[in-house]
Amino acid sequence: MIKIAPSILSADFANLERDIRRIHTADYVHVDVMDGQFVPNITIGVPVVKCIRPTTDLPLDVHLMIDRPVRYVEQFCDAGADIVTCHVEADTEENISAALRAIRAKGKKAGVVVKPKTPGSAVLPFIDLCDMILVMTVEPGFGGQKFMGDMMPKVQEIRRYIDALRPGCDLEVDGGVDTATAPICIAAGANVLVAGSAVYKADDIPAKIRALRGQ
């Protein structure tokens, strides 16, 4: 089954509760955390995750675009994150593994993310600790960018790793996903689609979420 994770980066931050209720037919709420260091943008942090937690029953899928995430993963778990993903580029292999173990020790789901220039094989040292692997289909930092179709061989490669080594692990794509590019991602093996602008620009959000699922 295809799961849809609307990114609240495209929501109205002055009306976040309203905009989270608008996506109640989705599967996850995707929360983009940016620190102005790992990526050239600053978005939201632990206090916002804590405030949005009671507004929805959907799992919070927290995408950490921050340097050295091991410093903060426990705080995001305590604030109510259900899935926490860390970029493999954001620290040493040892520290990323420590971050994933800390997330799992909190009883939450852990995962790694790869930027467009990072090879698919970079997930292999972490795969045993992963409940989700996220492949970026834009350079992380901003919503509304153009989908990078040339990431699909990497999605296929990681699908092969998951099927061989970690069945049941989610394979998520993030960036430029809309009703035109979603089927391409699904064909390549993704089963979770993040969509920010495509969802929040839609007049009928539940219909857009169904369309993204291919229904």
Query: CA 32, 211, 85: angle at the middle one, nearest 5?
Result: 25
In angstroms, what is the minimal distance from the CB of 215 to Zn ion?
23
In angstroms, what is the minimal distance from the CB of 23 to ligand DX5?
13
Task: Return the residue nearest ligand DX5 (CB atom).
Answer: 196
In angstroms, what is the minimal distance from the CB of 201 to ligand DX5?
9
Give the sheet arrangement for strand 132-136, strand by strand: 3-6, 192-195, 170-174, 132-136, 109-114, 83-87, 60-65, 29-34
Instruction: Based on the residue annotation, tell me whether 170 is a catalytic residue of this protein.
Output: no
Catalytic residue among 19, 27, 32, 91: 32
**Burial state string for 40-71 with b = 16 or more CB within 10 A and e = fewer than 16:** eeebbbbebbeebeeebebbbbbbbbbbbbbe
Q: Which residues contact 27 (CB under 8 A, 6 or more apart)?
A: 3, 4, 5, 58, 59, 192
Footprint of ligand DX5 (CB under 6 A): 7, 9-10, 30, 32, 63, 138, 140-141, 143-145, 174-177, 194-198
Name residue, tokens 């990497």.
154
Q: Is 172 an interacting residue with respect to Zn ion (CB under 5 A)?
A: no
Beta carbon nearer to ligand DX5, 97 or 137: 137
Instruction: Based on the residue annotation, tell me whether 163 is a catalytic residue of this protein.
Output: no
Beta carbon nearer to ligand DX5, 101 or 142: 142
Over the window 30 to 69, marking each residue x when it contacts Zn ion by CB under 5 A and - when it does not, the resulting string is: --x------------------------------x------
Whether the Cβ atoms of residue 101 and residue 81 lie closer than 8 Å to each other? no
Beta carbon nearer to Zn ion, 27 or 32: 32
Catalytic residues: 32, 174
